[in-house]
Structure 1
Amino acid sequence: MLSREDVVAWVAIRQATKHAEKRVTDGGFAFWVDTQPDDYHDGYEHAMTYGNGPSVVVKRTGAVWNLASNPGSLPIYGAKSEQELHATMKEAGMDPGTPHEWVGGQPQPEGVTQQGLARWLQWFGWQPNHYGVTDLGYAFAVLPTPAVVHNGPVIVVKHSGDVWYLGSAPQNAALVLGTRTETEFHQTLGVIAPGVNPRQPHDRIS
């Protein structure tokens, strides 16, 4: 179940906006995210854009739909449950079974297991004595054995298989190893590597 903090963090990453907190409204079963530009939120009404409605983020799944502002889409805004959301989306000609994106990544029936991770590492020539694995909950942290491998830690997100190579700076590894969710990881990644796009991992285990 997504929290408001999760969605605010996602908005800040996705839109790189100074108004992330202001944009998110709790709608009970979902969060509604205002998509107007920063200038509009700064008080410049002429900056309003037309045609784009809010995004709706379902708390239970993290599914996101980007809505329009045409008259046919307006009933969607009044949905009070996930069932009503899907029904009004169908009436507006949208497919409620195909979200436009996901907060935290699309849920997968099976994620990366520790056994699958070991096979992937072995394929790259890593032997069991080359590393240790710490389970962070949302991800595995592969910690190279310093006497054998001089790389920094590798983070593998379980549900998506996204792989991130952190480099060898000890302070960066310490920050990442303290994260508890994928959202926290993305926030920390933005601090230690500002140019990195959290939607473009370095590698992926499929």
Structure 2
Amino acid sequence: MQQSITVPPNKEHSTHHITTQQERLLAHAEAFQSGIVLRLAPNTGVHRNTAEGRLRSTKRAPDRAAAVARLRLNDHHSAEFVHMHAPHIPLKVRTFQALGLSLTQAFELAADNAIARASTPSGLALRARPSALLTGQPSAGMQMDTPGSLPSGWLAHPHLHGIIHRHFSNVFGAAPVFFAPDHRTVLLSPTACPLLEHWISQRFGKVQPIRFPTLVSA
């Protein structure tokens, strides 16, 4: 005959168990947060003051938490949040609500992560090569790569953009013009380069050039 034995709850054990769970969750959250970075995205979905637009505005408002987490930078670009485990999938607002972070806080966190991921004992391990190796077109341009994060993300935050702007200004002896036709591809040249711009337009369509003064705040 099987008997059940009831043991009085051990409060000390329960408290220790809960504390351990909280520590694990906190450690998991910190590990997850360390992988949050930025990518540059074109602005889409511009509101038009038309009858159709007004009709849509009367419908039930979308769930804000389900929206893609993004901050508008200017008329052409926004900063989107992604995680390096799946950089092709933008994070949602609900992710940061669960982490207890505002998008402004997450914006600074993502910039710090990008710098930490590119840091070595000798400095930032930013890489660059002649753009001709990618395009097959002769030019004075370069292709930039950033280990540990998306290259376009370095154009999506004023501090990060300032770092690469200063570096390549020293390399070129002139302020660079950047192009980010996709999240992993960043091309730059010291002046307007018709061959480079033609190559980009042929493969990606029209891409807005990015100059440092246009991205000054979030």
Range class of TM-score, shorter chain: under 0.3
TM-score (norm 1): 0.28
The higher relative CO (CA closer than 8 Å, separation ≥ 6) is in 2
TM-score (norm 2): 0.27
**Structure with larger Rg:** 2
From the two aligned structures, give the one with the greater helix fraction: 2
